[in-house]
Amino acid sequence: MPERARRLRPARFDDLGLRRALGDRMLPLLVAAMAFLAALALAGSAGAAALVRHWQEGAAAALTVQVPAPGDAAAGGTGTRLDAVLALLRAVPGIGDAHALSSAELGALLRPWLGDAAGDPALPLPAVIAVRMAAAAPDLTALGARLGAAAPGTLVESQGVWVERLTRLARSLQACAWLVLAVVAGVAAAVVAVGTRAGLAARREAIEIVHGLGATDGYVARRFARRTTALAALGALLGTLAALPVLAALAVMVAPFAGKPDAATVPAELALGLPALPVIAALIGWLTAQATVRRWLRRLP
Amino acid sequence: MVRLEGVSLQYGSGRRAGPAVLHELDLTIPEGGFRWLRGPSGAGKTSLLRLLNLTVRPTRGRLVVLGSEIGGATRAELPPLRQRIGMVFQDFRLLPHLSAFDNVALPLRIAGRPEGQVRADVTEMLRWVGLSRRSDARPAALSGGEQQRVAIARAVVGRPSLLLADEPTGNLDDTQAERLMLLLKEMNRLGATVVVATHNEALVARHPGPAIRLESGRLRDDA
């Protein structure tokens, strides 16, 4: 019976007069501002996460090995020190590729610092081996010791340390973004609560009449919640849409850092998070109004 | 059935408590009974009706309305009881933003009746109180007497088991007052318990019946 009754009830039946008591300007506007901030925070979080992923995939899996005096004979006897180190590296499980930079590559790398002298064959430059890890990084201290035994003075440098620091920074930024989201959600709930209270105060008499006619707390709360849910969803939709051009501009600026200089792609967090904002705002609107109205109604017998 | 045992009522509580408006009332109205509620202004007639309408709970004593003990009832238990009580307020208490039709329909819609039945019952009720042509009018556009008739229609439309009326003829001419009394008596004949508070001596004289007499919040007798 209630199902049928609801279906047949005139759609515009507004017994508590909430269309005027809960106006369609202020609440959506404030929620729109909240959603705008939430969209930016979400983009910040997603952007930081994307950078972390990119760095970890790329640079964390790389090692640099420097071999001074590469042409000298190795400690073990046969071959040069460079050959010995390369042979050792290639034998380590988990190392995908070890490639000694040619003197031309090295010269190009150093030219900004050394100028034309970088190409001078008389300059005692160490050999640089770029190592790509296929699996997890091996124990760098042990590796360094073994390479040092074959060619004393060999340095193993992991770029992972830098990536780790950058990652930590990015993760902190991400945590800040989540904190902003939590605060924004809290403020949105407060805005809905204040709006609902104002509506309750404005419609006190109507609520008392309806209550006296046998309306349950759920009946009254549902009417308020339906209104705030719609207003909050509308506001969040507007706020999210308003954030889109800003996010697009940011995405274009961020793209080169994420290793995609030409195409700005949307991270999955953002693709899912942005459409979720109006839904979450609606949920906040519904829950807050329900809680506020039910609490208020306890003053009636 | 309505029963009061040592019921007192005091508005407010703690340090903000006002003086008691009803003192130690003991009375019983049998199911399907009719009672006039009489007494000078300020005697507590409206307060007693508020108690019976479950708008306030007794401060002390035992109150039974429609077979349910009110003092011990939870908040969730009261709405179904309220839906079985109809009340005509002295100040009508209509919702100003709703049409006469929607005001009368309110109790039925709150009770979740099918809209088809709501339309039929409300239309019939408005016809009975002579307001068929005014069903789309807001209360502000209605005269005092018309508003009172809307209030009466709203109280009666749900066929309540307990019908309460506070000065229901105050804004009605004699003909309308007579029609109202016929309606109340008809409801009573169909099984509703009816309590009518009034100052209208002529009306009581024309429709004699047992009365609850209040004076300064105390019962004078339960005739």
Convert the pLDDT of each residue in A224-256 to its tens digit.
999 999 999 999 999 999 999 998 888 887 777
B48: tokens are: 């007693």
> Could you give the CA distance from residue A223 to residue A230 in angstroms, rounded to a whole number?
11
> Could you give the CA distance from residue B97 to residue A206 in angstroms, rounded to a whole number?
10
Residue B86's SS3 state is strand
Mean pLDDT value of segment A1-22: 63
Interval B43-90: pLDDT, tens: 999 999 999 999 999 999 999 999 899 988 999 999 999 999 999 998
Is residue A282's pLDDT more than 80? yes
Which ipTM value was assigned to this complex? 0.91
Is residue A93's pLDDT more than 80? no
Is residue A197's pLDDT more than 90? yes
Give the number of other Cβ atoms within 10 Å of residue B102's Cβ. 21
Is residue B31's pLDDT more than 90? yes
**Interface-testing mutation among B102, B115, B163, with chain A (most A C-beta atoms within 10 A):** B115
* pLDDT of res. B58: 93
**Residue B109 at interface with chain A, using a CB cutoff of 8 Å:** yes
Give the number of other Cβ atoms within 10 Å of residue A270's Cβ. 20
Q: Is residue B66 part of a domain?
A: no
**Residue B80 at interface with chain A, using a CB cutoff of 8 Å:** yes
pLDDT band at A38 (very low <50, low <70, confident <90, very high): very high
pLDDT band at A60 (very low <50, low <70, confident <90, very high): low
> Could you give the CA distance from residue A180 to residue A52 in angstroms, rounded to a whole number?
20
Q: Give which of A5, A297, A206 is closest to B109, Cα–Cα.
A: A5
pLDDT band at A125 (very low <50, low <70, confident <90, very high): confident
CA atoms in the 13 A half-sphere facing the CB of A262: 0
Q: What is the dihedral of CA B168, B169, B175, B180, to 10 degrees?
A: 20
> Could you give the CA distance from residue B100 to residue B137 in angstroms, rounded to a whole number?
6
- Please tell me the total count of domains within chain B: 1
Provide, as residue numbers in chain B, all residues whose Cβ is less than 8 Å from the Cβ of A4.
Answer: 114-115
Residue ranges per structural domain of chain A: 10-57+167-297, 69-153
Between chains, do A10 and B115 touch, taking CB under 8 Å as contact? yes
**Interface-testing mutation among A213, A223, A295, A299, with chain B (most B C-beta atoms within 10 A):** A213
- The proportion of chain A whose per-residue pLDDT surpasses 70, expressed as a percent, equals 87
Q: What is the dihedral of CA B50, B54, B57, B60, to 10 degrees?
A: 80
Is residue A297's pLDDT more than 50? yes
Mean pLDDT rounded to a whole number for chain A: 83
Mean pLDDT value of segment B13-21: 81
* pLDDT of res. B199: 86
Provide, as residue numbers in chain A, all residues whose Cβ is less than 8 Å from the Cβ of B112.
Answer: 1-2, 5
* pLDDT of res. A257: 67
B205: tokens are: 């004289």
Nearest to B79 among A5, A209, A214 (CB): A214
**Residue A12 at interface with chain B, using a CB cutoff of 8 Å:** no
Residue B43, domain extent: 30-57+79-222
Q: Is residue B22 part of a domain?
A: no
**Residue B72 at interface with chain A, using a CB cutoff of 8 Å:** no
**Residue B102 at interface with chain A, using a CB cutoff of 8 Å:** yes
CA distance B80 to chain A (A): 6
Is residue B222's pLDDT more than 60? no
Q: Is residue B48 part of a domain?
A: yes
Nearest to A9 among B55, B82, B115 (CB): B115
Is residue A195's pLDDT more than 60? yes
Stretch 116-145 of chain B: residues touching chain A, C-beta under 8 Å: 116, 118
Q: Is residue B208 part of a domain?
A: yes
* pLDDT of res. B141: 94
> Could you give the CA distance from residue B85 to residue B155 in angstroms, rounded to a whole number?
8
pLDDT band at A259 (very low <50, low <70, confident <90, very high): low
A4, closest residue in chain B (CA to CA) = B114
Size of interface A-B (CB pairs under 8 A): 75
* pLDDT of res. A284: 97
Is residue A6's pLDDT more than 50? no
Is residue A122's pLDDT more than 90? no
Is residue A19's pLDDT more than 90? no
Report which of residues A111 and B42 the model is more confident about: B42
A7: tokens are: 């279906």
* pLDDT of res. B200: 86
B157, closest residue in chain A (CA to CA) = A213
* pLDDT of res. A5: 43
What CATH number did the domain enclosing B106 receive?
A: 3.40.50.300
* pLDDT of res. A119: 65
**Residue A25 at interface with chain B, using a CB cutoff of 8 Å:** no
User: Which stretch of A153-157, B80-84, B126-130, B137-141 has the lowest confidence by average pLDDT?
Assistant: A153-157
> Could you give the CA distance from residue A40 to residue A243 in angstroms, rounded to a whole number?
7
